[in-house]
Amino acid sequence: MTRKVILYIATSIDGFIADTDGGIEWLSASETSGLAKDIDTTYDVFYKEIDTVIMGRTTYNQVVNELSPDFYPYEDKINYVLTSKVGDNRADINFSNESVVDLVERLRHEPGKAIWIVGGNSVIMPLVEKNLIDEYRIATVPVLLGSGIPLFNTFNPSLFLKLRESRQINTICYHTFTLN
């Protein structure tokens, strides 16, 4: 059985996953309006579906330096950090210079739960281009950033997805799309 590969990510209404400096303060700044709590509700359900996390070095650095400097939040999962600067592996983190496509193709045929893809374009786009993401779970946060790092870069040919679920929890819209 092939493991499911899931992109689970939040984006602004105008399609950005971070501001121009790579910051995501706009997510935590929205805590006063209840957005962080809304995201956590669906996140808890999602987190139980996965046992593997794949991210790039920039996302990893953001997690350990900004979002959760006191503890690593994914220590109960198998972690892969894709980087050209391979570091010392830890019990819960594998630093790798393997291509994301090769890694995902290998992991999806190993036993386990779903695989979470998290991060920016260098991780996401090669998988989009090879049709290796089974589900796109996108939380749209009601903020317009105006500029920043887009969720998707330009690619060809177009990829048509099927809407599987769309729901609103308070002020956030959650959409799940699949390849077919």
pLDDT digits (tens, 9 = 90+) for 16-56: 999 998 888 887 765 445 555 555 568 888 999 999 999 99
From first to last of the 180 residues of the chain, give the pLDDT tens digit: 799 999 999 999 999 999 998 888 887 765 445 555 555 568 888 999 999 999 999 999 889 988 888 999 999 999 999 998 877 777 779 999 999 999 999 999 999 999 999 989 899 999 999 999 999 999 999 999 999 999 998 777 788 999 999 998 888 899 999 987
Residue 32 within a domain: no
Residue 18 within a domain: no
Here the tokens at position 162 are: 């099927």
Q: Which residues contact 76 (CB under 8 A, 6 or more apart)?
A: 92
Structure pTM? 0.90
Q: Would you say 177 and 138 are in contact if contact means Cβ atoms under 8 Å apart? A: yes
Residue 122 within a domain: yes
Residue 35 within a domain: no
Distances (CA, A) of 160 to 118, 136, 157, 163, 180: 21, 12, 10, 10, 9
Residue 107 within a domain: yes
Residue 64 within a domain: yes
Q: Which structural domain, as residue segments, surrounds residue 66?
A: 5-9+40-139+162-178
DSSP secondary-structure letter at 12?
E
Q: Total structural domains in the chain? A: 1
Residue 76 within a domain: yes
Residue 154 within a domain: no
Instruction: State which amino acid sits at residue 78.
Output: I
> What CATH number should be reported for the domain holding residue 87?
3.40.430.10
